[in-house]
């Protein structure tokens, strides 16, 4: 009766061997000291042959040991019932007990109605790159898998339920720095244990309780790693046991993405700046020693350099000077401004040399800090000597020169600009009284008129402003005044000015040579033109020719 019973056991165990995957078959072969090389069919054949050999020999101990290894190929002798191994085939590297230990009672197991299914629930959480602004406390959901979508106009959706435990609700209520954030990363092709950067699918929409997440899920253009995790704290119903619905809709992606919701501890910029101030520093002696070492290089001629005390990011005076230990320059930047920028878009590049830096590599420069404390806030740059000595640059400026060659200054006691408009008007008035009844030809005259042209051009242009230098002596001023009034004092003998010429017109005013005032001067001895006919005079007897 023993042989048929053993045969039935071999048949059942052989059927179970067919459900094992490659790594499980190798594990069984190692336990039985069987070769592990070859294809899957070869490994199955070796295990089945070993079962039959034990049954034929009647070795019940060896047969039971091999059957136990087949039923529980990884965990050992405490094997489950024969049904669960088919469930673990979805992801044999991470079986269900590991998932329960990782999430515990915080996140319940996914329901069969969820679209990500068993494969999404058994994925290992990606290892995200370190960020000084967030510390991951615990995951709140299983890892969701966003499969690759190659075809256009095709969308896919993954869903999850965020169920907060009473402990998590109490932590969030007691501290505003406890946040709930969505972490997402592309599939790590190189190694599953390498740290990945936060990245979301290019076309993605996230909703929590039917409310759309407004966070920037793309980061900076052509800057991988500049994306922040999506903060969904304000969209959650912070009640124990409440099922918060998470829906992620994405399209057109060539890579797989893995998404998980984490409870994180947020660190503020002021907290990080305080951590830098209390941490390691770049000492003043070290900076001076490096400067003198560079100056002693025989192939380099060391000269003084200009160091700016303004932050290259905010263009304001540096408050907390820091730089990375991997940088070779002495120029610093403000720690607060730099960390505020990294919190918005984490590029982690030095603003001076554009070299990749980390938060752990940032240190306070005591040399620059001493300069900032020793100089007033109005000083924005200093001169650094090769031996480490520094001095402030002189901001004194040389007096400016105007375009006309005179010295320009804010002191109004040196130069006064006076316009001679009233004096010109008085000269014109006196000239008109002296001329008496003299008239100029009408503008409709065919002959060109010099005075009319001068007057029309003068009326269209502003009078030229004369600059009078008050530093001159009184005698020089009297001479200048005589030169200006010279045309008015001339008294040449001649016929009276109020008598018209033979043609009835007053003589044409002309400009005297050497007259710099630009005023018309009438010469009494000038002969009028006789090209016009003599005018007729009216008398009681009628019109008559003048005598």
Q: Is residue 288 domain-shared with residue 368, that is, in the same domain? A: yes
What does pLDDT average to over the chain?
72
* Residue that finishes a domain, picked among 345, 373, 392: 392
Instruction: Give domain status of residue 20, yes or no.
Output: yes
Q: Is the pLDDT of residue 107 over 50?
A: no
- CATH number assigned to the domain comprising residue 367: 3.30.40.10
Q: Is residue 83 domain-shared with residue 121, that is, in the same domain? A: no
**Total count of residues recorded for the chain:** 547
The pLDDT of residue 444 is 44
Confidence of residue 18 (pLDDT cuts 50, 70, 90): confident
Q: Is residue 195 domain-shared with residue 250, that is, in the same domain? A: yes
Rounded to whole angstroms, how far apart are CA atoms 96 and 339? 41
Pairing of strands 281-282, 203-208: unpaired
Q: Is residue 324 domain-shared with residue 229, that is, in the same domain? A: no
Q: Is residue 186 domain-shared with residue 51, that is, in the same domain? A: no
- Residue bearing the bigger pLDDT, 255 or 296: 255
Q: Is residue 193 domain-shared with residue 104, that is, in the same domain? A: yes
Confidence of residue 207 (pLDDT cuts 50, 70, 90): very high
Give SS3 for 21: coil
Q: Is residue 57 domain-shared with residue 190, that is, in the same domain? A: no
Q: Is residue 244 domain-shared with residue 104, that is, in the same domain? A: yes
Q: Is residue 283 domain-shared with residue 204, that is, in the same domain? A: no
Confidence of residue 449 (pLDDT cuts 50, 70, 90): very low
- Residue bearing the bigger pLDDT, 209 or 406: 209
Q: Is residue 79 domain-shared with residue 134, that is, in the same domain? A: no
Instruction: Give domain status of residue 360, yes or no.
Output: yes
- Residue bearing the bigger pLDDT, 199 or 396: 199
For residue range 159-197, what is the model confidence (pLDDT) as tens digits? 999 999 999 999 999 999 999 999 999 886 556 678 889
- Residue bearing the bigger pLDDT, 535 or 6: 535
DSSP letters of 462-514?
PPPPEEEETTS-HHHHHHHHHHHHHHHH-----S-TTS--TTS-PPPPBPPTT
Q: Is residue 86 domain-shared with residue 229, that is, in the same domain? A: no
- CATH number assigned to the domain comprising residue 161: 2.60.120.780
Instruction: State residue 71 phi and psi, 5-degree precision.
Output: -70, -30
Stretch 439-463: mean pLDDT, rounded? 47
Q: Is residue 142 domain-shared with residue 286, that is, in the same domain? A: no
The pLDDT of residue 211 is 94
The pLDDT of residue 120 is 38
Q: How many domains does the chain have?
A: 3
Instruction: Give domain status of residue 255, yes or no.
Output: yes
For residue range 221-278, what is the model confidence (pLDDT) as tens digits? 888 889 999 999 999 999 998 999 999 999 888 888 999 999 999 999 999 999 999 9
Domain of residue 38 covers 2-90
**Percent of the chain, pLDDT > 90?**
36
Instruction: Please answer whether residues 375 and 308 qualify as being in contact, where contact means their C-beta atoms are separated by less than 8 angstroms.
Output: no
Positive or negative, the CA dihedral 422, 427, 432, 434 is positive
């Amino acid at each position: 009766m023993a042989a048929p019973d053993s045969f039935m056991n071999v048949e059942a165990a052989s059927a179970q061997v067919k459900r094992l995957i490659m790594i499980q078959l190798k594990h069984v072969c190692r336990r039985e000291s069987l070769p592990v090389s070859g294809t899957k069919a070869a490994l199955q054949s070796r295990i089945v042959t070993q079962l039959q050999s034990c049954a034929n020999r009647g070795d019940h101990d060896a047969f039971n040991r091999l059957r136990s290894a087949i039923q529980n190929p990884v965990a050992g002798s405490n094997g489950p019932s024969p049904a669960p191994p088919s469930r673990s085939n979805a992801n044999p590297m991470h079986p269900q007990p590991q998932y329960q230990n990782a999430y515990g009672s915080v996140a319940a197991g996914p329901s069969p109605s969820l679209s990500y299914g068993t494969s999404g629930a058994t994925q290992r959480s990606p290892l995200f790159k370190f960020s000084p602004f967030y510390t991951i406390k615990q995951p709140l959901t299983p890892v969701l898998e966003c499969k690759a979508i190659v075809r256009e106009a095709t969308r896919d959706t993954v869903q999850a339920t965020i169920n907060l435990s009473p402990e998590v609700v109490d932590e969030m209520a007691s501290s505003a720095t406890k946040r709930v954030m969505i972490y997402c990363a592309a599939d790590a092709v190189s190694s599953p244990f390498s740290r990945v950067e936060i990245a979301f699918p290019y076309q993605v929409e996230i909703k929590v309780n039917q409310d759309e997440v407004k966070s920037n899920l793309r980061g900076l253009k052509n800057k991988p790693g500049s994306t922040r995790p999506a903060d969904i704290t304000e969209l959650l119903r912070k009640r124990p046991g409440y099922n918060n619905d998470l829906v992620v809709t994405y399209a057109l992606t060539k890579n797989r993405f893995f998404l998980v919701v984490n409870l994180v501890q947020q660190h503020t910029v002021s907290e990080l700046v305080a951590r830098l101030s209390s941490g390691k520093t770049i000492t003043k002696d070290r900076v001076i020693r490096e400067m003198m070492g560079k100056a002693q290089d025989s192939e380099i001629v060391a000269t003084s350099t200009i160091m700016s005390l303004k932050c290259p990011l905010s263009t304001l005076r540096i408050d907390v000077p820091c730089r990375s230990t991997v940088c070779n320059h002495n120029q610093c930047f403000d720690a607060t401004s730099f960390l505020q920028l990294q919190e918005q878009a984490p590029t982690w590049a030095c603003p001076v040399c554009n070299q990749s830096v980390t938060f752990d590599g940032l240190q306070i420069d005591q040399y620059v800090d001493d300069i900032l404390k020793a100089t007033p806030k109005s000083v924005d740059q200093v001169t650094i000597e090769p031996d480490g000595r520094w001095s402030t640059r002189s901001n004194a400026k040389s007096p400016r020169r105007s375009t006309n060659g005179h010295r320009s200054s804010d002191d109004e006691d040196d130069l006064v600009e006076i316009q001679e408009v009233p004096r010109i008007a008085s000269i014109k008035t006196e000239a008109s009284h002296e001329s008496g009844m003299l008239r100029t030809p009408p503008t409709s005259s065919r002959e060109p008129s010099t005075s009319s042209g001068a007057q029309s051009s003068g009326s269209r242009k502003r009078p030229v402003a004369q600059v009078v230098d008050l530093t001159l002596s009184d005698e020089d001023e009297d001479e200048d005044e005589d030169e200006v009034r010279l045309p008015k004092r001339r008294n040449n003998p001649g016929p009276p000015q109020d008598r018209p010429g033979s043609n009835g017109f007053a003589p044409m005013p002309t400009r005297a040579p050497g007259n710099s005032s630009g005023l018309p001067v009438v010469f009494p001895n000038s002969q009028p033109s006789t090209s016009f006919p003599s005018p007729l005079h009216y008398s009681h007897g009628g019109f008559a020719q003048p005598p």
